[in-house]
Amino acid sequence: MKNLFFCFLIACFLFSCQSESKEAFNLEVAKKEIQAANSELSKYMQNGDSVSMASAYSSDGSAMFTNMPSIKGKDNLTAAWGGFIRAGMSNIELTTVEVWGDEHYITEEGLFVIKTKDGSQVDKGKYLVLWKKEEGKWKLHRDISNSDLPVATAN
């Protein structure tokens, strides 16, 4: 009888350890979290908030935009986004095409459209973002994009 009781206790312990295990990673849930983060980025742009735009990046994040060197560090990211906003960019539409990854890193392929306050389109193109889970939140870790518009030429 003692052995049966001891086996029962072990089984209960093992079951409780299993039931307390971490929830399995779900890519569809992560995709929705990424899309929500993109909505926040759009709001920051509409509000002219370059500080929040920069804060959306991981602690060692960087942006790699067309025709300019990589932008690294919160101060440089804040300055770059501030420059875009001062240049008249006030609306960024981000559309997620596909995501893949795990609980630590997600790669997002997407499309962007950038507009001014009056609704004029400034740019459109595609992007890849490597998102990094940092302090329980998805942060832009590597942000690279390029335009679909033709290169401007001198007349």
The predicted-structure confidence for 10-22, as pLDDT tens digits, reads as follows 555 555 555 445 6
Whichever domain contains 85, its CATH number is 3.10.450.50
15 domain residue, yes or no: no
Written as six digits, the tokens of 138 are 């998805």
Q: What is the pLDDT of residues 18-75, one digit of tens each?
A: 544 567 999 999 999 999 999 999 999 999 999 999 999 999 999 999 889 999 999 9
Share of the chain above pLDDT 70, in %: 85
117 domain residue, yes or no: yes
pLDDT score, position 151:
85
- Token pair 């350890």: residue: 17
Asked if residue 38 lies in contact with residue 90, where contact means CB atoms within 8 angstroms, the answer is no
| Strand intervals (E) in the chain | 57-64, 71-72, 89-101, 105-116, 121-134, 137-147
**Alpha carbons 114 and 31: distance in angstroms, whole number:** 22
7 domain residue, yes or no: no
152 domain residue, yes or no: no
37 domain residue, yes or no: yes
Nearest residue to 130 (alpha-carbon basis) of 116, 141, 145, 139 = 141
16 domain residue, yes or no: no
- Token pair 């973002």: residue: 129
Q: What is the pLDDT of residues 93-107, one digit of tens each?
A: 999 999 999 999 999
pTM for the predicted model, two decimal places: 0.82
Q: How many domains, in total, are found in the chain?
A: 1
pLDDT score, position 56:
98
9 domain residue, yes or no: no
Domain of 31 in residue numbering reads as 25-146
pLDDT score, position 20:
47
Residue 151 gets which letter from DSSP?
A: P
101 domain residue, yes or no: yes
